[in-house]
C-alpha cells in the first residue's frame, strides 16, 4: 500500500483536531489537546499524510521542577500557569489578574491576501478576551506567515504587555545548530554573523523606535548532520521596536519567539477593540542559504511589494547627495541633470538641502517647501527641465523630523515626543515628531500631497535619521490613554501617511532610507518600493553589505550607487559591476567625470538595462561569498528559465595564483548556452552546455592585479 500525498494547502483532521499546512517541500502542523491547548506538532520536510502526525498531548511531568507545561511546544504560549519558557502574550485585566489562560475555540480554513489561511481562535477561560492566530501559507515558497489579533469583548480595559507575532518551534535533534543573523551600524549594515546555539538564549532586537542597523529582524538557523542539511529562517514585517529570541535547551530543542519588543510596550484594549501584531514569515529549506534567499525574494516580490510598481522595472537613478551635499541650487542641479541624462539615467533625485534654511544639518527639517533663496522660481521649473531630458523627478524628504530651528517646531513644540520635565535630546540637531498624533499625520499627508502634486514628483526618498528618545506623550496621558503605545503607533503612523500618499498618487515610487539601511524590513516594503542600502558607497565594503542585505531582500529593492568612492583607485567597471547587483544608481559628482569615464559608465548602464529583468526579478544565488574564499573571489548569479547573468569579482590578487573554475547553478544541463564574458575592457564569447557550465565550470578571465571583475551573460540557444 502507498499513500496519496496531501496536496499543497491546508488540511484538517477534525476527529483528532489536527491541522497541517503543506507547502511544496515542507509541512507545518498543530493540534489541540484534550484540555484545549494548541500544541505545535511538527515543522520540517513534507509529510504525506495527516496520520504521520503525533498526538497533541502534554508529556508527563518529568520532575516537580520540570512541569509538563514548561516543556510543552505551544503555538502561542501565554504568560500563565507553570510556563517558564518563551511566552508570546502577557496581559493585565482590569481586576489586576496578570495571567492568561488561552484555550482553543474554533478553527476556520479560509483565504487571506490570496493565500490559503487558517484562523485559529483562542479564548481566555475566564475573561472575555480572544486571541486569533492567523496562518497564511505560501505553498510555492515553503513559507508560513503568522500574526495574532487580540480582541476585547469585555466592558473593561485590558492592558496588553506582550503581543508577539509567533513562537516557532524547531524540533529536538542531535545535530548542533548555527544561528546566522545580520548586524551592523551606520556605514556598515547587514553584515553576516554566525554563532552556535547552545543552551540559553540568543537575542537580536531594536529599542530605537525603528528597525535599526544594529540588527535586522531576520534569522536563519542551520544544521548539518549525516542525514540532512536544514535551515529554518524567518523575517519580521515590522518597522518599530522588535525582538527575536532563539532559546535552546539542553535537549536540543529551539524555540524562536519574536514580534513587537515588550520593552516599554503597553497597549490599552478598550471594549470591542482589536490589536493585531505585525506578520512574522518563516520557512524551511534544505537547499542552503541560497534556498532561503530565493524563497524570501519571491515572496517579497509577489506578496509584499506594492503594485503596480512591483511589476515594473526599477529605474536607473541619479542622486545628488554625494555630489553637492547641502549646496543645492537650481542651476547646479540642472547641470547635473544634463550629465545624468547623457549617461542614460531614468530618474533624477534631488537630495537634502532644497528647503528653507537648509545650508547644513542644523535647520529646516519640517518646512517642506522650496527654499526661496536656492529656488526663487520654486521646484517646478527644475522638475519640468528634468522631464524634458526624459527623466523622472525625485525629491528627498524626512517627514518624521523637525529641527528646533524650523517654522514647524516654532509653531508646534508639543508635536514631538518629550517629557515636559526633561530635556529634549537632539541627534543630528533634530527631534522626532509624534507620529501617533492624528493631527501630525493629517498635517504630513496634506504637506506631502501638495509637494508631490504641485511639483510633478515621481519619487520620494523618505529618510529617518535618528532614533526616538524621551518617548512621552503627555496629552494622551491626560486623556487617560497609554503613552507607551507610541513605540507601535510611530510605525503605524508612518505606514498610515505612506498609505494615504500612495492612495492619492498611485504611480509614486518611495525609497525607504534611514541613515542608509536603518529601516529595511518587510513591513516598510509593503508601502515602499526600494531601500537605500547603506550610506557606505565604497565598492569594497558594499560587497559585504550587499551579500547580507540580499539574504532578506530581492535585488530590485537594493539600491546601489556608483559614486566617487574608489574613483581613481578602483576600475570604473568594478565600481559599476558592484552597483549593478541591485537597482543601479549613480551618485558621483558628474561635473568632475571626464568623457572617458562618462562613456564607460554610460556603456555599463546600457548593459544594465539589458540584463535588468534578470537582476531585478531573477532568482539570485551567491556562488562565492566575499567572506574569505580562496582567491578572494566573490560571485553572484541571477537566473530565469531562458537566461542567466553572473557577476564575478576578484578583490585581491596577493599570490598571483591560478583560480579554480567557477561552477554555475540552475542551468538546464542539456541546453546549449551562448556564453559572453564582458571583462573590464574586453569581451569573449563561446558556446557551452549547461552541464559543462555547472559541472566543469567557467574560467574567470581576470588579468593580474586587484579589483578585477566581469559580467558573464548566458543565453539559451
Ligand atoms: C542620510 C541619508 C543620505 C542622505 C542624507 C541627507 O544620511 O542616508 O543618503 O540623504 O541623509 O542628509
Q: Which grid cell sits at 703?
A: 588579468
Under 8 Å between Cβ of 564 and 625: no
> Is the CA virtual torsion 400, 406, 407, 412 positive or negative?
positive
Q: What is the domain partition of the chain in residue ranges?
A: 9-304, 309-506, 621-716
Atom of ligand 1 nearest to the CA of 351: 10
Output the pLDDT for position 181: 98
Which band of pLDDT confidence, cut at 50, 70 and 90, is reported for residue 225?
confident
- Grid coordinates of 299: 515572496
pLDDT at 1 over 80: no
Q: 367 labelled as ligand-binding?
A: no
Least confident span in 103-117, 143-157, 158-172: 143-157
Closest atom, ligand 1, to C-alpha of 461: 10
DSSP 373: T
CATH superfamily of 621-716: Golgi alpha-mannosidase II (2.60.40.1180)
Q: Where do we find the cell 568594478?
A: 574
> Domain 309-506 has what CATH class?
alpha beta
- The model's confidence at residue 681, banded by pLDDT at 50, 70 and 90, is confident
CB 619 within 8 A of CB 297: yes
Read off the pLDDT of each residue in 611-636 and give the average, rounded to a whole number.
93
352 assigned to a ligand binding site: yes
**531 - beta bridge partners?**
512, 558
CA distance 137 to 114: 10
Closest CA to 521 of 219, 135, 202, 167: 219
- The alpha-carbon radius of gyration of the chain (Å, integer) is 27
pLDDT bucket at 3, cuts 50 / 70 / 90: confident
Which of ligand 1's atoms lies nearest the C-alpha of 396?
A: 10
186 is in an annotated binding site: yes
Residues with CB under 6 A from ligand 1: 321, 351-352, 396, 463, 465, 513, 515-516, 532, 535
The one catalytic residue among 13, 405, 535, 564: 535
Catalytic residue among 142, 463, 617, 619: 463
Supply 221's cell numbers.
538557523
* 3-class SS of residue 430: strand
CA of 21 from ligand 1 middle (Å) equals 43
- pLDDT tens digits, one per residue of 496-521: 999 999 999 999 999 999 999 999 99
Helix residue spans in 23-133 (DSSP H): 68-71
| Matching CATH number, 9-304, of 2.40.30.60, 2.70.98.60, 3.40.710.10, 1.10.287.130 | 2.70.98.60
Q: How many CB atoms lie within 10 A of CB 407?
A: 14
Cα(371) to centroid(ligand 1), Å:
18
The cell for 384 is: 519640468
How is residue 527 written as a grid cell? 508601502
371 annotated active-site: no
Residue 221 has pLDDT above 80, yes or no: yes
- Measured over the CA atoms of residue 262, residue 265, residue 270 and residue 272, the dihedral's sign is negative
CA of 404 to the centre of ligand 1 (A): 19
| Predicted TM-score of the model (pTM) | 0.98
Q: Work out the pLDDT band at 609, boundaries 50, 70, 90.
A: very high
Model confidence over 57-108: pLDDT tens digits? 999 999 999 999 998 999 999 999 999 999 999 999 999 999 999 999 999 9
Q: Which of 138, 534, 508 is nearest to 303 (CA)?
A: 138
Distances (CA, A) of 406 to 302, 325, 356, 371: 41, 20, 9, 12
> pLDDT tens-digit profile of 377-428?
999 999 999 999 999 999 999 999 999 999 999 999 999 999 999 999 999 9
pLDDT at 228 exceeding the cut of 90: no
Question: Cell for 493?
Answer: 503612523
CA distance 275 to 279: 13
Amino acid at each position: 500500500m502507498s499513500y496519496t500525498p496531501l496536496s499543497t494547502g491546508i488540511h484538517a483532521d477534525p476527529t483528532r483536531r489536527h491541522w497541517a499546512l503543506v507547502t511544496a517541500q515542507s509541512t507545518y502542523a498543530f493540534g489541540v489537546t484534550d484540555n484545549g491547548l494548541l500544541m505545535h506538532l511538527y515543522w520540517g520536510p513534507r509529510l504525506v499524510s495527516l496520520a504521520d502526525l503525533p498526538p497533541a498531548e502534554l508529556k508527563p511531568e518529568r520532575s516537580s521542577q520540570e512541569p509538563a507545561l514548561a516543556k510543552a511546544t505551544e503555538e502561542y504560549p501565554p504568560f500563565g500557569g507553570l510556563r517558564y519558557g518563551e511566552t508570546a502574550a502577557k496581559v493585565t485585566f482590569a481586576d489586576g489578574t496578570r495571567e492568561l489562560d488561552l484555550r482553543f475555540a474554533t478553527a476556520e480554513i479560509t483565504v487571506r491576501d490570496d493565500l490559503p489561511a487558517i484562523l485559529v481562535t483562542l479564548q481566555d477561560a475566564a475573561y472575555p478576551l480572544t486571541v486569533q492566530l492567523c496562518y497564511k501559507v505560501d505553498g510555492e515558497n515553503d513559507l508560513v506567515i503568522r500574526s495574532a489579533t487580540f480582541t476585547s469583548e469585555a466592558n473593561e480595559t485590558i492592558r496588553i504587555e506582550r503581543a508577539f507575532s509567533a513562537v516557532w518551534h524547531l524540533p529536538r535533534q542531535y545535530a548542533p545548530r548555527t544561528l546566522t543573523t545580520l548586524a551592523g551600524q551606520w556605514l556598515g549594515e547587514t553584515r553576516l554573523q554566525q554563532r552556535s546555539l547552545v543552551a540559553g538564549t540568543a537575542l537580536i532586537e531594536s529599542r530605537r523606535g525603528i528597525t535599526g542597523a544594529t540588527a535586522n529582524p531576520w534569522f536563519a538557523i542551520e544544521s548539518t548532520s549525516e542525514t540532512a542539511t536544514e535551515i529554518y529562517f524567518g523575517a519580521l514585517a515590522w518597522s518599530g521596536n522588535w525582538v527575536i529570541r532563539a532559546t535552546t535547551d539542553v535537549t536540543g530543542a529551539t524555540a524562536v519567539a519574536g514580534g513587537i519588543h515588550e520593552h516599554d510596550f503597553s497597549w490599552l484594549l478598550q471594549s470591542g477593540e482589536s490589536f493585531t501584531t505585525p506578520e512574522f514569515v518563516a520557512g524551511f529549506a534544505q537547499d542552503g542559504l541560497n534556498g532561503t534567499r530565493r524563497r524570501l525574494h519571491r515572496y517579497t516580490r509577489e506578496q509584499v511589494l506594492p503594485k503596480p510598481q512591483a511589476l515594473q522595472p526599477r529605474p536607473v537613478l541619479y542622486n545628488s547627495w554625494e555630489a553637492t551635499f547641502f549646496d543645492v541650487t537650481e542651476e547646479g542641479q540642472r547641470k547635473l541633470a544634463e550629465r545624468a541624462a547623457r549617461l542614460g539615467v531614468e530618474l533624477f533625485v534631488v537630495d537634502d538641502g532644497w528647503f528653507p534654511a537648509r545650508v547644513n544639518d542644523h535647520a529646516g527639517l519640517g518646512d517642506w517647501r522650496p527654499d526661496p533663496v536656492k529656488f526663487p522660481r520654486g521646484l517646478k521649473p527644475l522638475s519640468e527641465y528634468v522631464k524634458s531630458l526624459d527623466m523622472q523627478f525625485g525629491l528627498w524628504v524626512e517627514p518624521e523630523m523637525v529641527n528646533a530651528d524650523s517654522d514647524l517646531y516654532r509653531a508646534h513644540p508639543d508635536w514631538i515626543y518629550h517629557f515636559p520635565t526633561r530635556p529634549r535630546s537632539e541627534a543630528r540637531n533634530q527631534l522626532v515628531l509624534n507620529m501617533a498624533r492624528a493631527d501630525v499625520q493629517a498635517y504630513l499627508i496634506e504637506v506631502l500631497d501638495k509637494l508631490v502634486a504641485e511639483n510633478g514628483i515621481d519619487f520620494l526618498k523618505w529618510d529617518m535619521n535618528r532614533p526616538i528618545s524621551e518617548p512621552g506623550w503627555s496629552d494622551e496621558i491626560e486623556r487617560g490613554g497609554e503613552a507607551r503605545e507610541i513605540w507601535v503607533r510611530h510605525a503605524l503612523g508612518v505606514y498610515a501617511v505612506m498609505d494615504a500618499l500612495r492612495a492619492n498618487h498611485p504611480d509614486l515610487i518611495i525609497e525607504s532610507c534611514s541613515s542608509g539601511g536603518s529601516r529595511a524590513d518587510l513591513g516598510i516594503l509593503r508601502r515602499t518600493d526600494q531601500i537605500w542600502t547603506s550610506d557606505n558607497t565604497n565598492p569594497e565594503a558594499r560587497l559585504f553589505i550587499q551579500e547580507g542585505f540580499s539574504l532578506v531582500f530581492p535585488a530590485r529593492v537594493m539600491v546601489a550607487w556608483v559614486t566617487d568612492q574608489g574613483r581613481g583607485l578602483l576600475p570604473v567597471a568594478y565600481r559599476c559591476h558592484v552597483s549593478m547587483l541591485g537597482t543601479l544608481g549613480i551618485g558621483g559628482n558628474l561635473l568632475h567625470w571626464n568623457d572617458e569615464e562618462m562613456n564607460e559608465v554610460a556603456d555599463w548602464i546600457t548593459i544594465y538595462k539589458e540584463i535588468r529583468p534578470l537582476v531585478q526579478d531573477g532568482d539570485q544565488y551567491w556562488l562565492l561569498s566575499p567572506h574569505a574564499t580562496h582567491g578572494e573571489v566573490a560571485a553572484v548569479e541571477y537566473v530565469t528559465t531562458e537566461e542567466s547573468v553572473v557577476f564575478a569579482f576578484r578583490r585581491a590578487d596577493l599570490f598571483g595564483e591560478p583560480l579554480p573554475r567557477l561552477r554555475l547553478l540552475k542551468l538546464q544541463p542539456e541546453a546549449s548556452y551562448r556564453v559572453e564574458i564582458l571583462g573590464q575592457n574586453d569581451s569573449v564569447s563561446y558556446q557551452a552546455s549547461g552541464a559543462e557550465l555547472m559541472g566543469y565550470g567557467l574560467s574567470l578571465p581576470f588579468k593580474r592585479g586587484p579589483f578585477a571583475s566581469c559580467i558573464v551573460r548566458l543565453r539559451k540557444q
